[in-house]
Amino acid sequence: MKTPYLFAAFLVLPLAARADKLVIPANAPPAFEAECGACHLAFPPALLDAKGWRRVMTQLDNHYGDNAGLDDKTRQAIETFLVQNAGGDKVSGAPLAKGEPPRLTATPWFKRKHHEVPAKVWQDPKVKSPANCAACHRRAAAGSYREREIVMPDGRRWEEKEDD
């Protein structure tokens, strides 16, 4: 009688395990890592919805206070890739700051995943910005966000902190 449940668990497990893995899909154009990874981590496309990525890509020369302008061909190739691999409802509806494209660190998903992180930690000089994933997720560049790899700016592991 238990078999159906067990079976269901096996089906769900691989999906659940992926919550701490956010990799760049293999069909990324070579320009994606080179261009979108030059000033910050090349963010995984699943972190923003298609509408959000289109907004980001239409104003690259006015990019959160920086200039990330690209030639048309490269811009188009990257936009197509981002839109094709965009996330869904969970990562849409980020509130917009004036004149800025949407931030993937303002989506309901990002807020929920980080609700236990104290607000002042985001301003720590070693972090500077929530978008600096690698400041805490030591293996972010490899797409890994496992809890036991998290080291907070004070040098302590997140898991040890929780035990206090």
Partner 1 sequence: MRTAPFPILVLLVAPLMASVQAATPADLLKGYSAEARAQQAGFTPSAQRGAAFYARTFGVSAKMPACTSCHTADPAKAGRHVVTDKPIKPLAPAANPERFTDLAKADKWFGRNCKEVVGRDCTAAEKADFVAFVTGGR
The footprint of partner 1 (CB under 8 A) covers: 39-41, 64-69, 126-129, 131-132, 135
50 binds ligand HEC (CB under 6 A): no
Nearer to ligand HEC, 7 or 18 (CB): 18
- Binding ligand HEC (rule: CB under 6 A), the pick from 54, 63, 90, 157 is 63
104 binds ligand HEC (CB under 6 A): yes
Shortest CB 89 distance to ligand HEC, Å: 17
DSSP string, 105-154: GGSHHHHHHTTTS-GGGGG-TTT-STT-GGGTBTTGGGTB--GGGBB-TT
The partner in contact with residue 20, picked from ligand HEC, partner 1, none with C-beta cut-offs of 5 to 8 angstroms by kind, is ligand HEC
Nearer to partner 1, 66 or 89 (CB): 66
d(Cα 100, Cα 86) in Å, to the nearest integer? 19
Report helix angle 50-58 to 72-84, nearest 10.
170
46 binds ligand HEC (CB under 6 A): no
- Binding ligand HEC (rule: CB under 6 A), the pick from 56, 81, 87, 91 is 56
d(Cα 1, Cα 3) in Å, to the nearest integer? 6
Residue 150: how many other CB atoms lie within 10 Å: 19
